[in-house]
Amino acid sequence: MDCIFCKIVSGEIPSSKIYEDEKVLAFLDINPANKGHCIVIPKEHYENIFDISDDALKEIIAAVKKTASAVNKAANCDGINILQNNNKAAGQLVSHIHFHIIPRFENDEVNFSYKPGKYLEGEINEMREKILVNITGN
Ligand code: AMP
Ligand code: ZN
């Protein structure tokens, strides 16, 4: 499969690894939003949040926590954003699920802003109903 993150896992493409276990790999992003920006991935290829198993996700999120704590100290930052994009419209460029760990500094120039929207009367309930019929139990 022609996946850049699978190639990082196999070693075909080099990376600045910072954490690795049987299931998970973390490395520095080559084009950081701020220095210390890291990427955490499962070693197995899953495209996005919709096709990864709960078990694999639990392993990744534990590694995200571990990595974020280390980056927080190493970058001596004021905050951390954890981002995970799904599909092109949401900014996903690499189709191998990954979490971004982004150190933030007071008044830095990183920007994830959006203009807060509004619901017309009844719309929030309509949306709630639509979501409720799609919530699946465990
Ligand atoms: P996304 O837009 O969420 O798919 O983010 C993909 C991220 O992967 C971007 O921030 C890229 O800078 C990063 N990236 C792409 N190729 C590499 C690579 N070879 N090594 C490290 N990071 C990479
Ligand atoms: Zn992959």
Q: 5-32: per-residue pLDDT in tens?
A: 999 999 999 999 999 999 999 999 999 9
Ligand 1, residues 15, 94, 96: which to mutate, most atoms within 8 A of Cβ? 94
Question: Using CA atoms, how far apart are residues 39 and 41, in angstroms rounded to an integer?
Answer: 7
Question: Using CA atoms, how far apart are residues 9 and 15, in angstroms rounded to an integer?
Answer: 9
The pairing of beta strand 17-20 with beta strand 24-28: antiparallel
Catalytic: 98?
A: yes
Atom of ligand 1 nearest to the CA of 100: 3
Q: 25-52: per-residue pLDDT in tens?
A: 999 999 999 999 999 999 999 999 999 9
Nearest to 36 by CA among 71, 81, 77: 71
DSSP single-letter state for residue 120: P
**Prediction pTM value:** 0.96
Which ligand lies nearest the alpha carbon of 2?
2
Domains and CATH numbers, the chain: 4-135 (3.30.428.10)
Which residues contact ligand 1 via a Cβ below 6 A? 4, 13, 15, 27, 29-31, 39, 85, 91-94
